[in-house]
Amino acid sequence: MTGIRIANFLCMLKTAYEIHERLGGSEMCIRYRVVSASGSGAALQKSPAVPAPAPENAAPEDEVLSGYLSERTVKVQLASADKESAIREMAELLATTGKVDDVDELVRTALRREAQGTTGLGEEIAIPHAKTDAVTSPVVGFARSAEGIEWGALDGTKAKLIFMISVPEAAAGDEHLRILAMLSRKLMDTDFRARLEAAPDDAAILDVLREVR
């Protein structure tokens, strides 16, 4: 990734971190700050007030993204070729958890969010999300697209790594941003993205995703 692309990627993620920091004071809030690094890149430093995470290989399955993502919400390859179809396919994937009361409403909410501004972050990543009572509790899904799906990203790349976050309205503030912050932090790691794209099956993908803490 070139220095310019790193800078653009950081800019697209920075807002999530800044909003998350402004929540302040909540025990559920994990705060990060973007700091300058030498050369063309940038680095993330964890707030010293937050305890160091446990070793990555110690995370049990039910702690992947705080238990919101599981093997049943992981799909190696999407069948969809366009954004709207992909969002529906992922909504149906989330519904296998029993946490989705209304798949159609979840899809409509996610598409309304897309109409406000693309959730394609660039670097072949998209994180569509929906705040709706169509879900009973927070749930996260992940899927890949080998060919990539046009998501309107500013850098012109098609989305190949796609996360979908869905939270009920009551949890829309703190928890939604906490999940987004955890994901954004790890997705800035090029090695992590490469391993996520190369993982051969659901179980291997989940092993990589256990590093998101």
Is 176 labeled as catalytic in the residue annotation?
no
Catalytic residue among 20, 75, 129, 186: 129
Residue identified by tokens 């992981």 is 74
CA–CA distance, 50 with 71 (Å, rounded to integer): 28
Which tokens go with 67?
């238990």
The size of the chain, in residues, is 213
- Among residues 159, 138, 190, 186, which one has the least CA distance to residue 16? 186
Q: Using only C-alpha atoms, what is the Rg of the chain?
A: 16
Handedness of CA 51, 55, 57, 60 (dihedral sign): negative
Q: Which residues pair with 166 in a beta bridge?
A: 130, 139
Q: What are phi and psi of 30, to 5 degrees?
A: -100, 120
Q: What are phi and psi of 178, to 5 degrees?
A: -65, -45
Catalytic residues: 129
